[in-house]
A and B are shown apart, each in its own frame.
Chain A
Amino acid sequence: MPTQRSRTSGKGNDPIDRVLSSVTGAADVRHLRERWVTLRVANSTLYQPIFENREYLSLRVIVDGGRIGTATTTDLSTEGVAALAKRAEAGARNAVRTQGFTHLPRPDRVPTPTIRVRRDAAQGDFASKASELFAAIDRAGEELGKSRVAGVYNEGFQQLSVGNTEGIRRTSDRSVAQASLLLEDLSFDPAVSGWAEAASWDPRKVDLAKLGEEALSRVPREKVHRVPEGKYDVVLGAPAIAELLNMLSYGGLGAYSVEEGWSFQGGASRKAVISPKIQLIDDPLSPLGLPEAIDYEGVPARSRKVFDRGIATGPSHDTLTAGRAGGRTTANAVPPEAPYASFGPLPRHLSFLPGEGTFEELVGGIRKGLLVTRLHYVRFVHRKKTIVTGMTRDGTYWVENGEIQYPVANLRMTESILGILRRTDLTGKALRCCGDERGFFAPVVPDLRARKVAFSSATIF
């Protein structure tokens, strides 16, 4: 596919300069250029091949030392930029002064971190990636009684430039590749299935044929049994852990959740809330994940412990929430406009350090229990207690005497995320990035084993 050049490119025509020269008062601007290809597979066919080319500007204006307004546009023409500035300034002039705002990030000597990136991502004709998908489909057809393959491959390139009136000017390129495959054998009723997913900054490392083999290896060759609701020792697969970490990020690790009192971190308690064995960091620079060199305020990204010996280290901040809390930004700013603004700063690259267990050792430590591949539709039931509910999906298995026995019908897990991490007695050595389709959340996680996890009901497939 072609690369579409920005109509604003060229010396002296930089969109950030044009925007900053159009506003009065303090301001910061984000100029994002991105292109994405998505290849969706359903019913063993390439169903929706999609290409998206997007360029936009996001402006935040601060007047009178704390009145803030934001605006965005995809119209980078002179008129578009003028309208953008007018809208953001109007918002700021009408806003009440925000408490805690001190200043926008200022230039410093911290260099923009170097991250791994493929600048040719989402270019080309994608025939090779389509061929890899077709190979996975054909292979499933050969191996399974009556196969049905679904999945997706996403590949994108983003260039984020941030500038502000304090003099900050940083640009960072980023590439994202992410894929998942679901293989079902419909000769069983209900169908049995296998799931695999992967993500990397390098599209070449997301090998779809290999991913298909992994999913195929997980498709059981026998019918689904039923187990009753109850508490079970469980091996949770990396995709399930990733889903829980994303919920925890939003629900309890960002500054807004602490300011509003919803976070489990509220209060002065400094006791361990998860197993001290778990090493969990926010690591936007990890080459194992989907690295980002700067946040949306242009502050260089850095890694930070999120839990230290089981104790939460405090919420993630941008400059605004850091000002309110009397601290410094942790470089976790998200775009300042809706809908991101309502989330506030978040750790989006939660990463485990490698544990000590092989997959066989994780399963081997379960006398009677479950192996859960992934979770579906996870939602908070009680945010402050980090209790969530969600269904198991695409591969849930009964484990007995340390061995996987047979697939079981899906169960509804209703549990505290912190409770699971507290009752974790072994984490896997192998880490996997389970990033989402655009790499907004990009956790790097292992499989892990947790004791006495509550399942509140069961379904019939």
Chain B
Amino acid sequence: MVEELLLMAVDSARQTGIRFADARIFRHHRLEHISVRNGEPEVMSYGDEPGVGIRVLGPGGWGFASSTLLTPASVRETARTAVALSRLARARKTEVPFLPESRTPREGSYETPVREDPFAVPLEEKLSLLTEAERRLHVAPAIKSAKAEFTAWQEDKEYLSSEGASYHSLITHVGSGLTANAISGGEAQRRSYPNSFGGDFAQAGFEFVRSLDLLEHAAECGREAVRVLKAPQAPEGTMNLVLGSSQVGLQVHESVGHATELDRILAYEAGFAGTSFVDAASRGKLRYGSPEMNIVADATIPGALGTFGWDDEGTPAKRVPLVTKGLLSGFLSSRETAARQGLTESGGTMRADGPLRMPLIRMTNINLLPGDHSFEELVEEARDGLYMETNVSWSIDDKRLNFQFGCEVGYTIKDGELGELVRNPLYSGMTPAFWGSLAATGDESTYHIWGLPNCGKGQPTQTMHVAHGAPAALFTGVRVRGAR
């Protein structure tokens, strides 16, 4: 049935002047979210939203239409709508270059290796785990609220293009985490495990959630929330800064991942997400950071949230260097933007967050490669300064230059050793100068691939799942202060 609808979608779009068409049908687009807050289930939610999205490249440019109605009549109508939209600007004679399809197998299947289907694990087991973990966060009266949450997503989709490419994907993502909120008087502090904003996420089954060992870590998470509530304010000044792995991951996300999206660079997101300080002609020339800085976009890493078989325009997953020894070496690109930029192939990063939305250039797994310093060596090399971990606040300008990030906790560094806990630490800077101050990157023991399920972009807004491999890292001469 789905295969027939898919053929119908693409055939209906093959009309005069249409250069290219593709369709994605989601048999299932599932989401399960359970959160327990202060002993009660805040959310026990399950959703399944199948649908179809059809994209065409016509004489006036692109047209895209989508529907949740998976009937033959609706699919044909959706295709006709996409064609009609692609003709809206035909009188403007806009050229849209588009690279031919990749010479890979034209049919294939990709499936997340899952040991334990997260949707099949009994609800009572998931709820029991979260309820007990949440209970253990309440270590003191100062913990006024706490939360334990679990999320699983699954997309079962078929892709077909007018070029004949046909792919099936069954992709499963899961994640879980804890949050303890300590509040006293006018002060409020939060501590999360293993990361903020819902925890950590991976392309895996429920075995990933078990591996987080929430019960084991809950009490310490709660205790640290209480400790940071009573901690002194973070110091202010220009100093050496060691960032924990998850914060380095977010720094990569905001100041490298988004900045190297070729649609942003070419001003196709100027009205909303913004553009980039990176110039399209600066590949191989722009000094992005110190020689310690090596960043790749790698959609082939098993288990990472930004991994897939093919992107949403049929390009196979690949590994693309973005920054090599501190020099800009590549972009996140699509078949259209690669053609615009004179590249020979797409970077394979066109992704949509569901059947109803048009694919855009999105991050995959954007990773800062590890170096050779243990965490202790990073701190020792810093001598004096601050260590910060776990993001709590993030903001960056629309060209990805001026940023300010806040973390849940900081520790002073004195004489090469971690000192006292401090609260509300913030750091700020300008992207190339900040990455230029990267003095050392942590080794594999400090490296982790963090799943990030909440990357927003596009109009209508899409929320994409991406990942960042990141070691701890040492930056010198960074502006630091405390939020007051």
Confirm or deny: B267 has a beta carbon within 8 angstroms of a beta carbon on chain A.
yes
- Check if A96 sits within 8 Å of B402, measured CB to CB: no
- Check if B69 sits within 8 Å of A71, measured CB to CB: no
Which interface class (under 10, 10 to 19, 20 to 34, 35 or more) fits B? 35 or more
Closest B residue to A77 by beta carbon equals: B70
Distance from A334 Cβ to chain B, minimum over Cβ atoms (Å): 12
Q: Which residues of A contact B395 (CB under 8 A)?
A: 377-379, 389-391, 412
Distance from A30 Cβ to chain B, minimum over Cβ atoms (Å): 12
- Check if A50 sits within 8 Å of B89, measured CB to CB: no
Which residues 326-365 of A have a CB within 8 angstroms of B? 336-339, 341-342
Confirm or deny: A126 has a beta carbon within 8 angstroms of a beta carbon on chain B.
yes
Given contact pairs A4-B74, A337-B43, A459-B397, A54 touches B50 in the complex (Cβ within 8 A): no
Q: Which residues of B contact A94 (CB under 8 A)?
A: 44, 123-124, 127
Which residues 28-59 of B have a CB within 8 angstroms of A? 31, 33, 35-37, 39-51
Q: Which residues of A contact B267 (CB under 8 A)?
A: 42-43, 148, 150
Q: How far is the CA of A384 from the CA of B37 in the complex (A)?
A: 19
Closest B residue to A39 by beta carbon equals: B88
Given contact pairs A42-B269, A338-B47, A4 touches B397 in the complex (Cβ within 8 A): no
Q: Which residues of B contact A49 (CB under 8 A)?
A: 61-64, 85-86, 88-89
- Check if B393 sits within 8 Å of A72, measured CB to CB: no
- Check if B41 sits within 8 Å of A393, measured CB to CB: no
Q: Which residues of B contact A116 (CB under 8 A)?
A: none
- Check if B66 sits within 8 Å of A459, measured CB to CB: no
Q: How far is the CA of A180 from the CA of B69 in the complex (A)?
A: 30
- Check if A134 sits within 8 Å of B92, measured CB to CB: yes
Confirm or deny: A172 has a beta carbon within 8 angstroms of a beta carbon on chain B.
no
Confirm or deny: B68 has a beta carbon within 8 angstroms of a beta carbon on chain A.
yes
Distance from B359 Cβ to chain A, minimum over Cβ atoms (Å): 10
Interface centre among A75, A260, A337, A338 (most CB of B within 10 A): A338
Q: Which residues of A contact B69 (CB under 8 A)?
A: 4, 7, 53, 55
Confirm or deny: B165 has a beta carbon within 8 angstroms of a beta carbon on chain A.
no
Confirm or deny: B399 has a beta carbon within 8 angstroms of a beta carbon on chain A.
yes
Confirm or deny: A151 has a beta carbon within 8 angstroms of a beta carbon on chain B.
yes
Q: How far is the CA of A3 from the CA of B69 in the complex (A)?
A: 12
Q: Which residues of B contact A339 (CB under 8 A)?
A: 33
Q: Which residues of A contact B342 (CB under 8 A)?
A: none
Given contact pairs A41-B271, A184-B270, A414-B404, A46 touches B60 in the complex (Cβ within 8 A): yes
Distance from A182 Cβ to chain B, minimum over Cβ atoms (Å): 5
Q: Which residues of A contact B459 (CB under 8 A)?
A: 38, 40, 48, 152, 154, 437
Distance from B12 Cβ to chain A, minimum over Cβ atoms (Å): 13
Closest A residue to B125 by beta carbon equals: A94
Confirm or deny: B401 has a beta carbon within 8 angstroms of a beta carbon on chain A.
yes
Please pick, from A51, A148, A150, the residue contacting B81 in the complex, using a CB distance under 8 A: A51
Confirm or deny: A380 has a beta carbon within 8 angstroms of a beta carbon on chain B.
yes
Distance from A265 Cβ to chain B, minimum over Cβ atoms (Å): 12
- Check if B183 sits within 8 Å of A384, measured CB to CB: yes
Distance from B119 Cβ to chain A, minimum over Cβ atoms (Å): 10
Given contact pairs A90-B123, A148-B270, A384-B187, A45 touches B61 in the complex (Cβ within 8 A): yes
- Check if A461 sits within 8 Å of B85, measured CB to CB: no
- Check if A38 sits within 8 Å of B460, measured CB to CB: yes
Closest B residue to A391 by beta carbon equals: B397
Given contact pairs A47-B62, A52-B66, A75-B48, A412 touches B77 in the complex (Cβ within 8 A): no
- Check if B65 sits within 8 Å of A457, measured CB to CB: no
Scoring B residues 113 to 154 as 1 if CB is less than 8 Å from chain A, else 0, what string do you get? 000000000011001000100000000000011000001000
Q: Which residues of A contact B65 (CB under 8 A)?
A: 1, 50-53
Q: How far is the CA of A55 from the CA of B163 in the complex (A)?
A: 31
- Check if A51 sits within 8 Å of B64, measured CB to CB: yes
Q: How far is the CA of A96 from the CA of B88 in the complex (A)?
A: 53
- Check if A410 sits within 8 Å of B397, measured CB to CB: yes
Scoring B residues 231 to 266 as 1 if CB is less than 8 Å from chain A, else 0, what string do you get? 000000000000000000000000000000000001
Q: Which residues of B contact A376 (CB under 8 A)?
A: 274, 397-398
Which residues 422-456 of B have a CB within 8 angstroms of A? 424, 426, 428, 430
Confirm or deny: A64 has a beta carbon within 8 angstroms of a beta carbon on chain B.
no
Given contact pairs A53-B69, A459-B402, A4 touches B88 in the complex (Cβ within 8 A): no
Closest A residue to B481 by beta carbon equals: A456
Closest B residue to A375 by beta carbon equals: B395
Confirm or deny: B110 has a beta carbon within 8 angstroms of a beta carbon on chain A.
no
Scoring A residues 126 to 166 as 1 if CB is less than 8 Å from chain B, else 0, what string do you get? 11001000100000000000001011101000000000000
Scoring B residues 349 to 372 as 1 if CB is less than 8 Å from chain A, else 0, what string do you get? 000000011100000000000000
Given contact pairs A43-B267, A49-B88, A53-B67, A71 touches B62 in the complex (Cβ within 8 A): no
Confirm or deny: A95 has a beta carbon within 8 angstroms of a beta carbon on chain B.
yes
Please pick, from A88, A152, A336, A383, the residue contacting B188 in the complex, using a CB distance under 8 A: A383
Confirm or deny: A15 has a beta carbon within 8 angstroms of a beta carbon on chain B.
no
Please pick, from A83, A92, A148, A414, the residue contacting B44 in the complex, using a CB distance under 8 A: A92
Q: Which residues of A contact B124 (CB under 8 A)?
A: 94
Given contact pairs A46-B60, A338-B31, A341-B45, A458 touches B50 in the complex (Cβ within 8 A): no
Q: Which residues of A contact B186 (CB under 8 A)?
A: 384-385
Please pick, from B39, B50, B356, B424, the residue contacting A96 in the complex, using a CB distance under 8 A: B39
Please pick, from B41, B86, B181, B428, the residue contacting A261 in the complex, using a CB distance under 8 A: B181
Confirm or deny: A73 has a beta carbon within 8 angstroms of a beta carbon on chain B.
yes
Scoring A residues 415 to 455 as 1 if CB is less than 8 Å from chain B, else 0, what string do you get? 00000000000000000000001100000000000000000
Distance from B190 Cβ to chain A, minimum over Cβ atoms (Å): 9
Given contact pairs A70-B46, A412-B404, A130 touches B272 in the complex (Cβ within 8 A): no
Distance from B446 Cβ to chain A, minimum over Cβ atoms (Å): 26
Distance from A239 Cβ to chain B, minimum over Cβ atoms (Å): 13
Confirm or deny: B222 has a beta carbon within 8 angstroms of a beta carbon on chain A.
no
Closest B residue to A156 by beta carbon equals: B460
- Check if A261 sits within 8 Å of B398, measured CB to CB: no
Q: Which residues of B contact A36 (CB under 8 A)?
A: 460
Scoring A residues 276 to 298 as 1 if CB is less than 8 Å from chain B, else 0, what string do you get? 00000000000000000000000
Confirm or deny: B286 has a beta carbon within 8 angstroms of a beta carbon on chain A.
no
Scoring B residues 453 to 484 as 1 if CB is less than 8 Å from chain A, else 0, what string do you get? 00000011100000000000000000100011
Confirm or deny: A310 has a beta carbon within 8 angstroms of a beta carbon on chain B.
no
Q: Which residues of A contact B188 (CB under 8 A)?
A: 261-262, 382-384
- Check if A393 sits within 8 Å of B398, measured CB to CB: yes
Q: How far is the CA of A38 from the CA of B131 in the complex (A)?
A: 42
- Check if A7 sits within 8 Å of B71, measured CB to CB: yes
Confirm or deny: A387 has a beta carbon within 8 angstroms of a beta carbon on chain B.
yes
Distance from A136 Cβ to chain B, minimum over Cβ atoms (Å): 12
Q: How far is the CA of A134 from the CA of B60 in the complex (A)?
A: 13
- Check if A260 sits within 8 Å of B44, measured CB to CB: no
Closest A residue to B29 by beta carbon equals: A74
Confirm or deny: A381 has a beta carbon within 8 angstroms of a beta carbon on chain B.
yes
Distance from B132 Cβ to chain A, minimum over Cβ atoms (Å): 12
Q: How far is the CA of A192 from the CA of B347 in the complex (A)?
A: 32
- Check if B402 sits within 8 Å of A42, measured CB to CB: no
Q: How far is the CA of A361 from the CA of B21 in the complex (A)?
A: 54
Q: How far is the CA of A7 from the CA of B77 in the complex (A)?
A: 14
- Check if A460 sits within 8 Å of B271, measured CB to CB: no
- Check if B40 sits within 8 Å of A96, measured CB to CB: yes
Closest A residue to B356 by beta carbon equals: A52
Distance from B38 Cβ to chain A, minimum over Cβ atoms (Å): 8
- Check if B89 sits within 8 Å of A74, measured CB to CB: no
- Check if A69 sits within 8 Å of B44, measured CB to CB: yes
Q: How far is the CA of A457 from the CA of B430 in the complex (A)?
A: 10
8 closest cross-chain pairs (CB), A and B: A150-B271, A91-B44, A338-B33, A74-B68, A72-B47, A459-B402, A49-B85, A150-B270
Q: List 22 A-B contacts (CB under 8 A).
A: A43-B266, A46-B88, A48-B358, A51-B66, A68-B44, A72-B47, A74-B68, A87-B46, A134-B89, A148-B270, A150-B270, A182-B270, A182-B271, A262-B183, A341-B33, A377-B397, A380-B393, A384-B188, A393-B397, A412-B395, A459-B397, A459-B401
* 8 other A-B residue contacts (CB within 8 Å) besides A47-B268, A70-B43, A437-B460: A43-B266, A47-B61, A51-B66, A70-B46, A71-B47, A73-B49, A410-B397, A414-B404
